[in-house]
Amino acid sequence: MTHGNVTTAKVRVDGSRVLHDDFLGVGVNVIPVAFMANNAAHGYEEAHWEIDRQRIAALRPKVARVWFQVDWMEPEKGVYDWERPQMQAFRAYLDAFREAGTEVELNFGWKVGRDIQEWFAIEGCEGRISAPRDLAAFAASCSAALRELIDRRGYDNIKYVAFYNEPNGHWDFDAPGDPREYYANMLRTVHERLVADGLRERVRIWGPEEVDMTWALYMKDHADEWIDEYTFHIYGGSYDDLSGQIAKRRDYVAPKPVGMTEFGWPHPEESGWDAGYANYVIQAANEGLHSALIWQLNGVRCEDPDEGVNTNGVFTLWDSVADGLAPNRSFYVASLLMRYIPPHSQVLATSASSPDVRASAFRSAEGDVTVVVECKDGARGVELEFANAPVGKTFHKFVYTDGIAPEDNALLPACAGRFDAEAGGFADEAPAGAGYAVAVYTTLSPLTQVEVTPARSSAVAGRTVALSARVIDGEGGVRWSVVGEGNGTIDAEGRYAAPEGIAAPRLVAVKAESASGSAGCGVALITVLP
């Protein structure tokens, strides 16, 4: 189809045909150790956390798989200490995800800290990655953690629990005999303990978090009654390969749902038309997966017993902000998928008139609709048709292209157009310009954002520095504030006055919040020098 000089592809959304009723959404994996000792030793401070927390609030991931080590809460067998520094650091992430409305998959059990290996690890297994020696004690620990976090701490967004990571490989789960049998026994033991403690109906068990399909098949045959959702990870496969990976698991474990709880690419330039963030989400939704979780949110330096492991530099949406503020380019496409695909949405049937266009459509319980359109060449036009269930709302358009240049504020792509769908559809003659592009059309309101300039600066104690702020996709000005006591002041015009009499350099976070009352916020870091 051609409009003038623009070749147009039609994307048809059939509102009467629901492919499945509950796509949980796009989420992330998180290693929650930024506040722990090894990261502090590499320069991470409280002020950096304001940046990370603001980005989590902007992305609003629909689910976060948050990794957890037993030694953080249990320094001695059967002795639980909820105020250990590791637990406080872990809870900072839970606070941020609760504020963002993010559901949490607690990945209980991962590496094994050195101080507990003597009693926790199985004799003959590698201590740092050993499966639990005492399954009953492990189940009691899991139950105690869920009780503490959900009931006593109020983290009722913890909806799912899983155990270890990729147990099929010898890197996170070492068990005697057939490790699949040991893993199945572990699931049964935890399930029974949660039932006995009245917690089983509060959380769904996900597993086995595999990259080897034989594990999913084994668990279906030997542990199905203890698993509510089967989870797998995939790296390196093409868009065409993904369909087969989904189908084999989905068809074998039915009617239980399947979730893709890890996927990603080491470097942003490896994600594109042949295999990429957008088309994996499109494929996952259209072929019945319950969720799609990106590996991983941000880079960190791991803690005991893996202090030498550094996840910065590959697979991250952004690296540790102690090392620099600009995110990776993958942040920008992932941000649109996380922010604007509604949680627990219906997936509607879509079709595209061109093989160079892919699409998926999502409808929330409130009737909002988001359509993700991936274009091999963004110069073509797109005509959206809503059949059998008119939307009758205004759509906002957001665009990702490989030409996006990362910047220190990590702003999500702003609204690039508005379209009236009251007539049953609309035409967008030029979604993105030449080259690979992803366009997101949604009836959800654009995120109001605040750009702060400069994002990083310095000031001598007792001196001032001028900051400015620009509101994007919103109206009005900003409210300035300084995070923390004794860190200086800032006036209504954005002039920051550094505190006097400090003896050592200090990193201070300054916030500019949208005065319109929306959630928009920008954060600047200022190094105050003696």
Task: Tell me the two tokens of residue 454.
Answer: 């400069």
Average pLDDT, the chain: 95
Find the helix or strand (DSSP H, E) in which 333 lies: helix 330-340
> Across residues 382-403, what is the average pLDDT?
93
> Which sign does the torsion angle of CA 220, 223, 228, 233 carry?
negative
Q: What percent of the chain has pLDDT over 70?
A: 98
pLDDT of amino acid 490: 98
Q: Would the pLDDT of 1 be above 80? A: no
Task: Tell me the two tokens of residue 287.
Answer: 């072929």
Tell me the pLDDT tens digit for each residue of 217-261. 999 999 999 999 999 999 989 999 999 999 999 999 999 999 999
Tell me the pLDDT tens digit for each residue of 288-299. 999 999 999 999
Q: Would the pLDDT of 378 be above 90? A: no
Q: Would the pLDDT of 155 be above 70? A: yes
| Rounded Cα–Cα distance for residues 129 and 140 (Å) | 20
| Rounded Cα–Cα distance for residues 398 and 330 (Å) | 15
pLDDT of amino acid 6: 54
Binned at pLDDT 50, 70 and 90, residue 483 comes out as: very high
Catalogue the E-assigned strands of 125-251.
158-163, 204-210, 229-235
Locus of tokens 């390196």: 236
Binned at pLDDT 50, 70 and 90, residue 377 comes out as: confident
Tell me the pLDDT tens digit for each residue of 61-115. 999 999 999 999 999 999 999 999 999 999 999 999 999 999 999 999 999 999 9
Instruction: Give strand pairing partners of 381.
Output: 8
> Across residues 404-423, what is the average pLDDT?
95
Locus of tokens 């890197």: 171
Task: Tell me the two tokens of residue 489.
Answer: 């002041």
> Across residues 461-486, what is the average pLDDT?
96
> Across residues 341-359, what is the average pLDDT?
97
Q: Are 357 and 9 in contact (CB under 8 A)?
A: yes
> Across residues 311-331, what is the average pLDDT?
97
Peptide bond preceding 390 in cis form (omega within 30 of 0): no
Q: Provide the whole-model pTM.
A: 0.96
3-class DSSP state for residue 56?
Answer: helix
> Across residues 14-38, what is the average pLDDT?
97
Locus of tokens 């009236």: 420
Q: Would the pLDDT of 518 be above 70? A: no
Binned at pLDDT 50, 70 and 90, residue 5 comes out as: very low
Q: Which residues contact 195 (CB under 8 A, 6 or more apart)?
A: none
Tell me the pLDDT tens digit for each residue of 428-449. 987 677 799 999 999 999 999 9
Task: Tell me the two tokens of residue 11.
Answer: 């994307």
Q: Which residues contact 6 (CB under 8 A, 6 or more apart)?
A: 379, 380, 381, 429, 430
pLDDT of amino acid 4: 46
Tell me the pLDDT tens digit for each residue of 101-138. 999 999 999 999 999 999 999 999 999 999 999 999 99
Say how many C-beta atoms besides its own lie within 10 A of residue 391's C-beta.
21
> Across residues 361-376, what is the average pLDDT?
97
pLDDT of amino acid 170: 80
Q: What percent of the chain has pLDDT over 90?
A: 92
Find the helix or strand (DSSP H, E) in which 258 lies: strand 258-264
pLDDT of amino acid 223: 98
Q: Are 322 and 45 in contact (CB under 8 A)?
A: yes
- DSSP code string of 325-368: S---THHHHHHHHHHHSPTTEEEEEEEESSTTEEEEEEE-TTS-
| Rounded Cα–Cα distance for residues 111 and 86 (Å) | 14
In terms of Cα–Cα distance, which of 219, 281, 293 is closest to 253?
Answer: 219
